[in-house]
Amino acid sequence: MTSDRSVPDDLSRIDGLGFVLYRSTARPGLENEDMRAILKAARSRNQMLGLTGCLHHEDGLFFQWLEGPGDGLARIMASLKDDGRHDGIVVLDQGPLDRRRFQDWHMRFSDRDHASLMDWFARSDTSTVHPAEYAGGVVSFMMSMAR
């Protein structure tokens, strides 16, 4: 996994597989029904664009890992930036990818009731201050749940 944080909009230039990991703030008052609508739309569009990944919702935050062809990633990121169900998107990491991490999931979903990212960080030695370690920790957490 490599990334160049100085070029945030270069996803469509990725040849082959790429990934984006971002965090955002959920709109206050989002209900289970909203989550179901998000996932339904996400899964059918991701299937069309060849994207897979994982979405985690906890304490008013979303964490999402998206992987697939660069042009599909760029299109979803453009949609996500305009989506009023969350804001304050911070890309934690992005770049080319050697192999998919969530090949069986057009969008895996988890929330705090299932597993807590905050508890995972509290138990691990992973820094939440160092950006690369933080991003790596979020991915490790997501992958540990998908096993």
Ligand X SMILES: Cc1cc2nc3c(=O)[nH]c(=O)nc-3n(C[C@H](O)[C@H](O)[C@H](O)COP(=O)(O)O)c2cc1C
Q: Which of the ranges 34-42, 91-99, 110-118, 132-140 carries the binding residues for ligand X, by CB under 6 A? A: 34-42
Instruction: Give φ, ψ of 86 to 5 degrees.
Output: -155, 165
**CA–CA gap between residue 137 and residue 129 (Å, rounded):** 11
Binds ligand X (CB under 6 A): choice among 19, 22, 62, 105: 62
Total number of residues that touch ligand X (CB under 6 A): 16
Q: Is 42 in the site for ligand X (CB under 6 A)?
A: yes
- Is 102 in contact with 46 (CB distance < 8 Å)? no
- Does 100 bind ligand X (CB under 6 A)? Our answer is no
Assess 41 for contact with ligand X (CB under 6 A). Answer: yes
Element containing residue 144 per DSSP (H, E): helix 131-146
- Spatial separation of the C-alpha atoms in residues 28 and 44, rounded to whole Å: 25
| Residues engaged in binding ligand X (CB under 6 A) | 38, 41-42, 45-46, 55, 62, 64, 66, 76, 79-80, 83, 85-86, 107
